[in-house]
Structures are given as structure tokens and as C-alpha cells.
Amino acid sequence: MLDGSSNDATRRRFLKGSTAVGVTALAGCTGGESGDATTTEETTTEETTTEATETTTTEATETTEETTTQSSYSVTIEPVGEVTFDAVPRAWVAENPSWADMGVALGLEPPLAVVLTSEYRTHHYDDVPGLSVDTDEMTSLWQDGISKELFYSLDADVHFIDPNYMTNLIPNWKQKDVDEIVSNVGPFCGNTSFSTYPWHEEYQYYDLYEAFEKVAQVFQRTDRYEAFSSLHDEFVGNVTDRLPDERPAIALLSPASTEPEKFYPYRLGDRTAYKHWHDLGVNDALDGSDISTFTSDRGTIDYEPLLEIDPEVMLFYTDQHRPPEEFRSTYLDFLKNHETASTLTAVQNGDVYPAGSMYQGPIMNLSKTERAAKQLFPDEFDRDEKLYDRQRVADIRNGSV
């Protein structure tokens, strides 16, 4: 259920079509209210009482208002292009937690599904008043692949998924399969802006707030987007004003295990996944090396190149969220007792921290930036200090903009 509306199929039956080839994608309610009002007007006669006439007029007015609310509108989201809706979507699916977080920030109910619910790190919501997302109530699209039958079963009104993601990364999906779901279920209108892929030649990336604005346009909640944008700008400005001139160089790594001998390296790219590091003005410790990012060649490195680079700070992308003490006992204790790893500057100084996940929408970005600022600059930011207003986040979600 979205936006407090009924999940009854008769009130959210949408007609859809492909927009990639210029066919309008329609999404709207076809409930019986308008038909009922018309019938009332047609059966009203001169003998109808004044009370009945007033009732009919009221119903007609309400019907006009509902029709106005449900008038069609279009949103352009690359790489799909223009998508037209005949009403605001209700049920929705997100490819990853970045898109999920955008909808949650707008005050919507969480998406019906994401590709992997285990990647949705909802601890970022823990101290936002009134906000709780239970991923146990969501569906993982990935179940040894992604089936068309699951899309039919979910019956979502819109899918924030780049169709190129489906045809390039999901086994057995072809363009005809995407077209079938667009025609029979709902449009695909996502952008893989969190990372880079081989098909991204001449690809228009969106940064976090550009993508967030598109989601707000789809759900007709641009006032909440604008409020979040103002909150974000004020927050980043206040944080960066307090940062020292010298910033550390960080190594972003994904350990191959909890007792790692190898790591998957990530270069500090310019996609959404790295926004908070760029906002904090840190550098990539792997600059100047011949190490490629994992997303481009799926390669690993061992301790030898790390010893050559000797990063000031090591940040780990891990398979699950671990609170600080659990993270240290899981990874840092092992590294400190490792014959080679223990000689690294970051390990000796205890500057090994969780990097979180690759995904972030507006709320997660606030949370991740705050945590990163405290990790990297403990002399400037107290560990218990709140760098952004949680109540303001809750108020914007609830429409108090």
C-alpha cells in the first residue's frame, strides 16, 4: 500500500505501455466513483428533492476534483525517456536501496520489492522519529535469477529499474521480456547512477538529488524533495565548514572474508555511491596505482599492493551491517594479529572502519555522511553529536515542509 491508499486491485488497476519506442505508459486508477456520479446525475429528475439535487452537485464536484487530481502527466527519466502516468502510482518496486530510500524519504510506504532485501541497510532509519522499514515484509527480486512471473505477481505500478540492468546483468532477460512487463504490468524508469557498467557509453548519469527529483516527480511530491534538498545543502555546508584543511586518503575495500587475505578494491569514483566521501573532500589512496575498481574487472588484491600504498584509512564494504564494536572485533582484531596486515599504518592507528553499503538515498546519505565525518575527523566532531535534525527528516516525510 502506498500513500495510505487502498491496495484493492480494482482501485489501482493501471494500463501500461512501453515509452522507449514512443508508446505512452499509462498508470492510473479506474475505480467506480466517476461512473457512480455520472449515473446519479443521469437519473436525477425534476421531481428529485432539493436535498438529492444538492447531494448530486456535491458528488459531481468531488468527481471533478478527483479527475483533476488524476490528470495525466509525464516524467522524463533517462535512459528510458518520457513516461506518462494517468494517475500517481501506488505500488512500486525499486532496483536497489538507493531508490527505495528516495521513496521512503517522500513519505511513501516502502517498495514491494528490491533485488536483494539483504542489501537494504535500514539501521540508518533507527533514530528518525516514526520511521521503521521491515525488509521481512518485502520481496527479493533475485531468487536464483529474476522471473517475469514475479513481476506479474507483484503487479507494481512502476519499477525504478534501468531496463539495461535487466538485459545486461540478469540471465535470460531480453528486450522483449522488458517490453512484455512494461506493456502488461508497469513501466521501467530507473537509472544505474550508483555505479558504472560496460554499457554506460554515452550514458546520462544522475547524481543522488537529480535521481531523487525524478522519483518526486513520479509521485508528485516535489515539495518534499525541495525540502530535503535544502536540509541536505545546509547540513553539508555546516559539516564542511568545520573540516580541517588536510584530509586523509582513504582505501575503499571489500574484504573477501571476515579473516581476509584478499580484498576487492573500489576506486573513489564520481557516482552516487561515493557522494559522502566527495562531500567530505577526502582523496583516493589508490590514485596513481594500476589497481582497477572491482566494478570494472572483478579483480582482487592481496596485502602486497596495500603495503606499497600504505593507506591512512581503510574502509570496508561488508556483507552485512555490524555495530562499531562488532566490526572491530570481527575485522580490526584479526588485522592487528596478522603478520603482514599489522604493519599497515591504518591498522596500527586503528583507522579501519565500515564503509557501509554502496547504496544511498537522501536519508541514508545524511546518516552515512555524519558517520564518516565522525570516523575521519574525531577531533572536529563528537561521537554523540547529531549533525542533522532527525525530527526535521520526519517532518518532511510527513508533509510538513
Tell me the pLDDT tens digit for each residue of 212-222. Answer: 999 999 999 99
Give the model confidence (pLDDT) of 139-180 as tens digits.
Answer: 999 999 999 999 999 999 999 999 999 999 999 999 999 999
Give the span between the Cα atoms of 352 and 313, in whole angstroms.
Answer: 6
> What's residue 364's pLDDT?
97
Q: Which pLDDT band holds residue 296 (cuts at 50, 70, 90)?
A: low
Q: Among 91-95, 128-132, 297-301, 347-351, whose mean pLDDT is lowest? A: 297-301
Which of 188, 220, 252 marks a domain boundary? 220
**Total residue count of the chain as it appears in this document:** 401
Do residues 207 and 327 both lie within one domain?
no
Label residue 70 by pLDDT band (50, 70, 90).
Answer: low
Same domain, 206 and 257: no
Residue 365: the pLDDT is 97
**What is the rounded average pLDDT of the residues 328-357?**
96
pLDDT confidence of residue 245: 96
Kindly state whether residues 216 and 244 are assigned to the same domain. no
Residue 39 domain-assigned (yes or no): no
Domain co-membership, 315 together with 353: yes
Both 309 and 213 in a single domain?
no
- The arithmetic mean of pLDDT across residues 313-331, rounded, is 93
Residue 8 and residue 17 in contact, taking contact as beta carbons nearer than 8 Å: no
Co-location of 281 and 158 in the same domain: no
Residues 137 and 101 in one domain: yes
Domain boundary among 165, 189, 220: 220
For residue 46, tell me if it sits in a domain.
no
The answer to whether the peptide bond before residue 265 is cis (omega within 30 degrees of 0) is no
Q: What is the pLDDT of residues 5-32, one digit of tens each?
A: 333 332 232 223 333 322 223 232 223 3
Residue 251 CA: distances (Å) to CA of 26, 119, 196: 46, 21, 19
Cell 461512473 sits at which residue?
35
Domain-located, residue 198: yes
Range from 41-55, 220-234, 320-334, 357-371 carrying the lowest mean pLDDT? 41-55
Query: Count of CB atoms within 10 A of residue 225's CB?
Result: 23
Q: Are residues 214 and 258 in the same domain?
A: no
Give every CB contact of residue 20 below 8 A, 6+ residues apart in sequence.
Answer: 80, 81, 163, 179, 182
Decide if 233 is inside a domain.
no
- Cβ atoms of 94 and 111 within 8 Å: the answer is yes
* Amino acid (one-letter) located at 127: D
Asked if residue 279 has pLDDT above 70, the reply is yes
**Residue 118, Cα to own-chain centre: how many angstroms?**
14
CA-based nearest residue to 228, from 208, 249, 203: 208
pTM: 0.81
Cell 575498481 locates to: 293
C-alpha cell, 57: 452537485
Place 295 in a pLDDT band, splitting at 50, 70 and 90. Answer: low
What average pLDDT does range 317-339 have in this prediction?
93
Question: Quick check: is 4 in a domain?
Answer: no
Interval 363-371 mean pLDDT: 97
Same domain, 172 and 253: no
> Of the residues 220, 248, 271, which one is the last residue of a structural domain?
220
Whether residue 186 is found in the same domain as residue 298: no
Residue 367 lies in a domain: yes
Q: What CATH number is given to the structural domain containing 146?
A: 3.40.50.1980
Instruction: Specify the pLDDT at position 232.
Output: 98
Domain that holds residue 127: 9-29+70-220
Q: Per the structure, how many domains does the chain have?
A: 2
Residue 176 lies in a domain: yes
- CA 66 – CA 281 distance, rounded (Å): 48
Dihedrals phi, psi of 377, to nearest 5 degrees: -130, 65
